[in-house]
Structure 1
Amino acid sequence: MAADPLFGWDLTFKTVEKDIKRKSDVLIAFIHWNLTKRGLRTIGIGDERTLSGDEDKSEVLPTGWNDKDNYTLRYVLEGKLYILHGLNTDGTLIVNLMRSEDLAVSNLALKIDDTVKETSGSIAQMLPGYKDLMYNVKRDLIDTITDRPTTTAETQTSTRNEPNRRLPDDPLRVPSRPHPSGPHPDTRDLWEPPTAPLPNIGRSDLDPFAPGGGGMLFNPFGPRRDLENPGLGVPGGLPRGAVPPGARFDPFGPPLGPPPAPGRRPPPDADHLPPPGGFNDHMFM
């Protein structure tokens, strides 16, 4: 034989029937009954969020539970403190159940006049839709928070101390630097200068402790020029690959011969003077 889902309601209501003043009191009594069925026990009124451990636990609503327009009741379940708040506003009773340990909250809003028809009589007379109401209280107010795991300091500590815990892939996370105890061939240190043959161009502009080198502008006359391929008519030469193979390229300077001997200046660019008779002397008149 199946257990009666309304078992205990008549006894609960009889203990508070003389205290009922308004329709919202019936809803709080009904919610309290559902909380006690789940195993919660009341320890008084108020919103104090600490437990001393010696509180008297009871299945009966405490004295003065409905003395004010709004409700604040304290409950205990498995050593954890829960606080029930009921707020009357514009004909609606907004109820939330907060777990004090981590401030997790569940909510339920009920239209008072649509839910409660009478303040006395059988449950069918007071709450015609009590079956749906019982289901909503259990699902949205109680199970939502009592079945939710808590985040304690112990679990946080154990998570931090797991040495082999794999972090989730994050495309924005910068890879960690190699451990100084030894090389890691699969992990490149992104903070070290690039290896050859990449030129270390621009590092001195970004790193004040970088070794000597050029800035963001490459010096074609510097020591990095290609002496074996002096280029096509450019003092100091074009870098290798500047002109694709087979491409048409008009030199814009005289081809250079072999590099000058050490200590000798390179020859001047012949374009700094016009060729003899190459221009009309009256071209600007």
Structure 2
Amino acid sequence: MAGLEVLYSCVASSITSPQDAVVCFIHWEIVKSGYKCLGSGDEPLNGEKKSELLPASWNTNKELYTLRYRSNDDKSNLLLKAFTVDSSLMFNLMDSATDKVTDLTVNVSDYINAASLQSFESVYKNTEDLAKRLKSSLLPAVKDEKSVKKERRERFTDTQPQPDHDPLRVPTRNPRASYPQNWTDPLSPFSVGRADLDPFSGTTEGMIVDPLRAGFPRSGFDPSSGIPGVLPPGAVPPGARFDPFGPVGRHRAGPDPDHLPPPGYDDMFM
């Protein structure tokens, strides 16, 4: 409530209704949020200056209160209107920067002791509840200077570069973890065709089909032992690929002359 007592003391002589006291409270909450009053009425007047005080003619019309505010950084203007409806006050607040309008209805007797209008110590009641309603309904987009400074510090902290952090660097991944351990590393530049480049690597990823290394059952033929009548022993290095340039073994049966006999070949009269 700091500051409200000074404000109330300045205008106590002009407060003649409980509605005046409510408007005074709302005014001070707006000032605390980082605004100052320019004047009353819808239209600005020449020579207006921002002030924390209420203007001279702020409560001339008891049926309709109209006050204008400007933020301390001059980036936003507010227009506050309060309508008296029976024992209630209906507040409308428009932010000129966003054209957003908020509203709040206050039952005056819930927050003002009508018999104590000239005594600040006893005129208000349930002020914490009223302030809470103001911030949640009428002033949702209006923030006090402390909140604004705190948000600026948080944004500044968030934008500071962290140690060992490069915002342009693509996050590293470890695709090796998703492959079985007995697989060759797919990221290695020597993994493709390694069996062709290195016959002694023990891998089978080559492009050349080797019947002796392709995973199919072997015939037991070892080219390093030589081929009788064709290659002497040792002509093919041990473990080297060997593509036979002829049938393995020289005693394989030849084709049968009667493999494809003509029709009627067994006719005794032909």
Structure with bigger gyration radius: 2
TM-score, normalised relative to structure 2: 0.48
TM-score, normalised relative to structure 1: 0.45
